[in-house]
Amino acid sequence: MSSDGDDGNSNQQVLEAILEANMASIKLPPFYDLDVDFWFTQVETQFCIKRVTNDRSRFDHVIAALDVGSLKRVIDIVRAPPEVNMYKTLKAAILRHCRIRPETKADLILNHPGIGDKTPSMLASELLALHDGHDCVLL
């Protein structure tokens, strides 16, 4: 056993290597603009599971998961991120700029292509996801 403290330093390096490998293995779901809040729930669950707590790492992972169209909507933050709260700022901008407008969701519901090869429960789930938790009124 070493008495000069190298074991503690070595253990710390091993721990850091394990945490870094764990963070590198994170795979965020594809960006889902029909329900951005739900997408962030999945993202933050992955961050929790993989113990990604570093603000820059969270910021970078989200940027990597965005599609090009959504990325263009928040390009100002991507190109010039704030010094602090990078992830929080990016998340707020994505929520503000990348949500589908209620009118567009209504149009998607009203012009839905129908059941196709889906089961009735799959179709119902799809339509309920589009209505975003608002009260359903059938006429």
Cα separation, 58 vs 56, in Å, equals 5
Q: Could you read off the pLDDT of 116-129 as tens digits, one per residue?
A: 776 777 767 766 66
Q: What is the pLDDT of residue 119?
A: 78
Alpha carbon separation from 50 to 39, 44, 57, 123 (Å, rounded): 17, 10, 12, 33
Q: Which of 108, 123, 95 is nearest to 35 (CA)?
A: 95
Cα separation, 109 vs 128, in Å, equals 9
Q: Which positions of the chain have pLDDT values less than 70?
A: 1-8, 14-24, 102, 104-110, 112, 115, 118, 123, 126-139
The 8-class DSSP code of residue 132 comes to T
